[in-house]
Amino acid sequence: MKRTLLIAAAATMLVAGCKNQNNMENPFFSAWNTPYEIPDFSRIKTEHYMPAFQEGMARQKAEIDAITGNSEAPTFENTILAYEYSGQLLKDVSGVFFNLSECENSPEMDSIAEAVTPLLSAHDDDIALNQKLFARIKTVYDQRETLGLNPEQLRLLTETYNGFVRAGANVPEAQQPRFRELNEQIASLTLRFAQNVLKATNDYKKVLPNGDTVTLDVPTWEPFMQSCPDRALREEVWHAYADRCQGGKFDNTKIIDTLVNLRLERANILGFPTHADYVLDDCLAKTPANVYRCLMDIWTPALNTAKQERDLYQKMLSQDEPGAKLQPWDWRYYSEKYRAEKYAIDDAEVRPYFALDSVREGAFMVANRLYGLTFTERTDLPTYDKEARCFEVRQGDSTVGILYMDFHPRASKRSGAWMTEFRGQHRTLDGRNVMPIIQVVCNFTKPTADRPALLNFDESETLFHEFGHALHGLLSNCTYPSLAGTNVPRDFVELPSQVMENWCRHPQVMKMYARHYQTGEAIPDALIQKIAAAQTYGQGFITTELLAASLLDMDYYSIKQKQHIDPIAFEEEHMKNIGLIPEIISRYRSPYFQHIFTTGYDAGYYSYTWTAILDADAFEAFAESGDLFNPELAKRFRHLLESGNTVEPMDLYRAFRGKDPSANALLKRKGFIQ
């Protein structure tokens, strides 16, 4: 079933007085009187959300009742399209609220989210378990071969039918109350998990002897771990990061125990032996066995390389502190130290050439060379925060969409980087194209009074990565909202983002955008060569910690029987089973692993590796052609971006590449094979 809400971000407790809100004053109850119908952020107050959610649910319920009460025989138009375009107000308020709850959060937003979560869960279940609605959808689906539908219409019909089945339409009536209860509990728990991580992250600040402050935001935490010579201080700050949400007031361990078992029970009700089986049935991977096979094929060469790195850093530590054993809090310090010695390069040398604006313009330049897009900053358009920058995206004389870019940490913003949308591209029933309003959010160190924000190279790749997601949304050219843009299987959605990193790191492209923030000098060839030579450095660690997290995710959701789970013991046991060395931990330890307990990557974190195979293989086509901006290849890849989920994703990939993907390009890129 098409989920109209970002339940994973949802939250709990009515705002006082919201029931008395005058509907005429609520900006959600009329069209946005703004350029491009951008949400009128300046008019939206916290007290507007709950009435808008309530009204949105009421309107969609009436629309669903009209479909089920229609005395005419079910057709594609009066059932499938009527359902597809229902709930517009609910989509509008959800698109604003849940996006802002992640980057403009507050106690009031938390309270609204906590209050609305069970309401939205129940509303979705009322639709998913509506037997009259499903009967009409099934009637149309059973007639699909005789209806003369075009390919996109047939795809919508098939995805709608399958979505209802996956959402519980076939759950026996006797089990439906429990099924509803499970959905509500899961939604509430994922919210509490996310809130705990945000609060625990913001709760820690370490003032250093020199007066600097270390927080648990990665842009400040990681440079500290790379540069601090005080081993005891490194250990303290590492534990603050790695031990978050294990006990105390922000404990997530009990939530994990409950959440994993609830998801298993729900999968069983739906007829699947595990939650992973349920999730993957709707993905390219299809089965847990395929995922494990993919991950383990790369695990062995990655772990072997990581062991070589460990031995090297152990020797360096032994020189500094004879008899000391390498620990996780030592790894980044000695890795960075060796990087500086071996490659004569460190972040301090690199950052001046990767000012935030230069990297952003580099991403824009690549999009222009590949797809002919231009990006013009608009300071006159509505925005939700003074730090959020707004760009009009154009193709020739036509506006393609609006792009918001929000780059720096705030206490109200969750950590990490992501792309989302305030509104997705689609066409209305009368054929009018609705342009997308896309948002990219990052957490890069802020500029200072005398220096712009300077990125390290990993952060530069992060910007290109999220911008790749943005292009997927901006270039969407689909009819139906549920099939448009990034609404594709999770193990395909990372391809457009990860492939963009290849242009970021390519020496030819770096020469185009990386300029010294003070002199304007293009990055020297010698430094480009050092960066290029360093691309395979540390890949043992980077790949091993990523794969460890992916395998941990699969292990949680491959359990077949309800059981008590101590997440710390579970993690330790399963990391030992795959041979993870103690000097490395999973990229995310369980109590703050938001991808799999909050943001929708449960049994799906593997997709970063799955699509890394695709992205390396895809970029190899450009490299082999001798033109990184090959017009014919760019045209074919743009078709992949434009198509959303209107075509089977692997068919789109084969149409671009002309063959099935191979892992060889990825293994070569990481230096695991020649």
| DSSP letters for 323-356 | TPPP-HHHHHHHHHHHHHHHHS--HHHHGGGBBH
Tell me if residue 466 is catalytic: yes
Catalytic residue, chosen from 114, 309, 459, 466, is 466
> Residue 69 has what pLDDT?
97
Q: What is the pLDDT of residue 14?
A: 28
Residue range 300-310: mean pLDDT, rounded:
96
Cα distance between residue 182 and residue 636, in whole Å: 43
Tokens read off for 447: 């500029």
Distances (CA, A) of 203 to 195, 199, 218, 244, 357: 12, 6, 14, 10, 31
pLDDT above 90 for 335: yes
Answer for the pair 548, 572: CB distance below 8 angstroms, yes or no.
no
CATH number at residue 118: 1.10.1370.40
Q: Which of 120, 144, 170 is the last residue of a domain?
A: 170
List Cβ neighbours of 267 (8 Å cut-off, separation of 6 or more). Answer: 273, 274, 275, 277, 278
Any domain includes 80: yes
Comparing C-alpha atoms, which of 544, 574, 572 is closest to residue 557?
A: 574
The per-residue pLDDT of the chain, averaged, comes to 93
What is the reported pLDDT for 535?
80
Judged by average pLDDT, the poorest of 57-71, 119-133, 356-370, 626-640 is: 119-133
Which of 534, 453, 467 shows the shortest CA–CA distance to 503?
Answer: 467
Stretch 597-626: mean pLDDT: 94
What is the rounded CA–CA span in Å between residue 415 and residue 428?
35
pLDDT surpasses 60 at 6: no
Tell me which of 482, 505, 536 is where a domain ends.
536
**Domain annotation covers residue 646:** no
Whole-number pLDDT of residue 114: 92
Length of the chain: 674
Does residue 20 lie in a domain region?
yes
Dihedral of alpha carbons 243, 246, 251, 254, sign: positive
Last residue of a domain, one of 510, 536, 562: 536
Token pair of 382, please?
């509505």
284 to 154, 279, 287, 557, 604: CA distances (angstroms)? 19, 11, 9, 17, 11
* Degrees, nearest 5: CA angle 491-5-643: 45
Q: Report if residue 630 sits inside a domain.
A: no
- Asked whether residue 11 carries a pLDDT value surpassing 60, the answer given is no
The arithmetic mean of pLDDT across residues 163-177, rounded, is 93
* pLDDT at residue 24 in the model: 58
| Residues 6 or more apart whose Cβ sits within 8 Å of residue 547 | 295, 298, 299, 302, 609
Q: What are the pLDDT digits (tens) for 415-474? A: 889 999 999 999 999 999 999 999 999 999 999 999 999 999 889 999 999 999 999 999
Angle between helices 288-320 and 328-343 (to 10 degrees): 70
pLDDT for 23 equals: 55
According to the model, what pLDDT value does residue 674 have? 74
Q: Pull the structure tokens for residue 64.
A: 């669903």
- How much is the pLDDT for 2? 36
Let me know if residue 294 belongs to a domain: no
User: Are the C-beta atoms of 336 and 225 separated by less than 8 Å?
Assistant: no
Q: In terms of DSSP bridges, do strands 418-423 and 398-406 run parallel, antiparallel, or are they unpaired? A: unpaired
pLDDT, tens digit, for every residue of 15-64? 233 334 445 589 999 999 999 999 999 999 999 999 999 999 999 999 99
Report pLDDT for 414.
87
User: Range with the lowest mean pLDDT among 90-94, 235-239, 526-530?
Assistant: 526-530
In a domain, 674, yes or no: no
Joined together, the tokens standing for residue 130 give 């509506």
Contacts of residue 97, Cβ cutoff 8 Å, sequence gap at least 6: 49, 53, 109, 112, 113
Q: Amino acid letter at 264? A: L
Q: Is the pLDDT of residue 551 over 60?
A: yes
Is 191 a domain residue? no
Q: Domain for residue 577, yes or no?
A: no
| Single-letter amino acid, residue 596 | I
Q: Report the candidate in 362, 354, 361 with the shortest Cα–Cα distance to residue 453.
A: 354
- Alpha-carbon span 91 to 57, nearest angstrom: 10
Total number of domains in the chain = 2
Report how far residue 608's alpha carbon sits from residue 589's, in angstroms, rounded to the nearest whole number. Answer: 17
Are 157 and 80 spatial neighbours (Cβ–Cβ below 8 Å)?
Answer: yes
The percentage of residues in the chain with a pLDDT greater than 70, rounded to a whole number, is 96
Whole domain around residue 374: which residue ranges?
A: 352-536
**Pairing state between β 437-441 and 398-406:** parallel
